[in-house]
Amino acid sequence: ETGVTQTPRHLVMGMTNKKSLKCEQHLGHNAMYWYKQSAKKPLELMFVYSLEERVENNSVPSRFSPECPNSSHLFLHLHTLQPEDSALYLCASSPTSAGEELGTQYFGPGTRLTVL
């Protein structure tokens, strides 16, 4: 499989559930990202990992907990979410070394999350 994959593609959960979103990239990149895309709002960057270290956390509530066990995998652990957290969650990856591709991000298809 090539590119960036995300599972599951759709998730419905109650406010008391705990679930995890998974992202995997097959591009040999060293940086990975989580974004939130809500209707009628700009794309929101949530977390950035570079070389498996979290380098950015944009004031995201603690009910979202990222994990990056290696440079190919990124998780977003979810617990006690609110209905307003319903959105499309996008994962992306990018290279970290200098060159033409620096700054270019490659996105997965997203996980459509609905919180009841």
Which chain residues interact with another protein by CB under 8 A? 4, 6, 31, 42-43, 45, 48, 50, 55-56, 90, 92, 94, 96, 98, 100, 102-110
Nearer to another protein, 71 or 94 (CB): 94
Cα–Cα distance measured from residue 88 to residue 8, given in angstroms and rounded to the nearest whole number: 11
Q: State the minimum distance, in angstroms, from the CB of residue 38 to another protein.
A: 12
Q: State the minimum distance, in angstroms, from the CB of residue 80 to another protein.
A: 26
Nearer to another protein, 15 or 102 (CB): 102
Q: How many CB atoms lie within 10 A of CB 36?
A: 19
Q: How many CB atoms lie within 10 A of CB 51?
A: 10
Length of the chain: 116
Q: How many CB atoms lie within 10 A of CB 9?
A: 11
Nearer to another protein, 30 or 80 (CB): 30
